[in-house]
Amino acid sequence: MSTQTAARRFGPYALLTPAVVILGIAMGYPLVRQVVMSFQEYGRAQQFGQAAPFVGLENYTQLFTDPQMWAVVGRSLAFCAVNVVVTMVIGISLAVLLKHVSRGPRLTLQIAMLLAWAMPVIAAMTSWQWLFDTRYGVINWTLVRLGFESFDGHNWLTNPWSFYFVATVIVVWMSVPFVMFTIYAALTQVSEEALEAGELDGANAWQRFRHIVYPTIRPVLTITLLLQVVWDLRVFAQIYYLQGVGGTPSKTHLLGTYIYTLGIGQSDYGMASALAMFVLVLTLVLTAGYVRALLKESR
């Protein structure tokens, strides 16, 4: 084998090696450490140097027989499903709107979405807290002016249903810009000539979407949906912040905040690690179909 042939054959792998090594160290070690801790009794004493005894599957057994854990899982799946559906519908609708409006409104909407997307989480949460504030919130004030007197002094965070409504509004507001920009970029790749040809051949709007637009944007739709499932299943900052300003943690925990409570709050890092491994497996199960579809399309 000549030097040039060897360089052509192994060169790409050599270029990838540094990135693979760095990712392996940065992601592989924490994952392995988490797996090990999930089989240990690891609490506050172990943080100060005491040996962590192995307890086998005790953490997992205790976790899977805990009704509260399954209640958190159920709430997390429901919250994820609602947020993914609402985010995708609004994001796709806005992307289609961008494709059909003139330059001025399109730029205005893009700038507004970009600003919403770029806003730091804590800054955004502070604004939303003020909007839904019990005494001085704009939402309550508006509803009272519209004739809904029962919202005078209404606390949106004490009831779990209204708590999740507020959380959904915030999470969707933060997630829609990504979906909109991504789908809009995909829509710009749809061939205008193919659409015109389909229209000349008598295809209606639905047929043109089904046979021309959808096949073109399907890979982007799939990966966008995949990312939304992962992000909405592991949402943490918004829930944790709302719990801190009025929510009841025991009734509003999702998987992210429950893991945090077990680990940081109760110093039970073994149980927290076991739950984190369960969440990892759950994420893989929920996204396996989408990943399989992406792999088939890439062949």
Total-model pTM:
0.87
Task: Count how many domains the chain has.
Answer: 1
User: What is the distance between the alpha carbons of residues 273 and 256, in angstroms, rounded to a whole number?
Assistant: 12
* Nearest Cα to Cα of residue 133 among 156, 106, 112, 105: 156
In a domain, 22, yes or no: no
Taking residue 232's Cβ as centre, other Cβ atoms within 10 Å add up to 24
- pLDDT, position 168: 95
Maximum Cα–Cα distance across the chain: 84
For residue 123, tell me if it sits in a domain. yes
In a domain, 5, yes or no: no
* Separation CA 186–CA 176 (nearest Å): 15
Per-residue pLDDT at 238: 92
- Name which of 212, 162, 161, 205 is nearest 186 in CA terms: 212
Q: DSSP H helical segments within 40-159, as ranges?
A: 44-47, 58-64, 67-100, 103-118, 121-131, 138-145
In this prediction, residue 257 carries a pLDDT of: 93
- Say which residue the tokens 């709430």 belong to: 75
Q: Is residue 104 part of a domain?
A: yes
Write down the pLDDT at residue 213. 82
Under DSSP, is residue 149 helix (H, G, I), strand (E, B) or coil? helix
Q: For residue 196, give both structure tokens.
A: 């015109």
8-state DSSP, 152: T
Q: How far is residue 185's CA from residue 179's CA, in Å, rounded to a whole number?
A: 10
pLDDT in tens, the chain (299 residues): 556 666 677 777 778 888 888 888 888 888 888 888 888 888 788 777 777 888 888 989 999 999 999 999 999 999 999 999 999 999 999 998 998 888 888 899 999 999 988 888 888 999 999 999 888 889 999 999 998 888 888 899 999 999 999 999 999 999 999 999 999 999 888 878 887 787 777 777 787 888 888 888 888 898 899 899 999 998 999 999 999 888 888 899 999 999 999 988 888 889 999 999 999 998 888 888 777 776 676 65
CATH of the domain at 165: 1.10.3720.10
The answer to whether position 12 is within a domain reads no
What angle do the packed helices 160-187 and 67-100 form, to 10 degrees? 40
Question: How far apart, in whole angstroms, are the C-alpha atoms of residue 158 and residue 169?
Answer: 16
What is the structure's pLDDT at 21? 87
Domain coverage including residue 263: 67-298
For residue 80, tell me if it sits in a domain: yes
Q: What is the pLDDT of residue 75?
A: 94
CB-based burial, 244-277: b 16+ in 10 Å, e otherwise:
eebbeeeebbbbbbbbbbbbeeeebbbbbbbbbb
Is residue 256 a part of any domain in this protein? yes
- Identity of the residue numbered 108: T
Distance CA 96, CA 140 (A): 33
- Residue 279, H or E segment: helix 269-298
Give the distance from CA 175 to its chain's centroid. Answer: 8
Whole-angstrom Cα distance, residue 228 to residue 222? 10
Q: Is residue 30 part of a domain?
A: no
The answer to whether 241 touches 232, Cβ cutoff 8 Å, is no
Residue 40's pLDDT is 85
Tell me, what's the pLDDT at 89?
A: 95
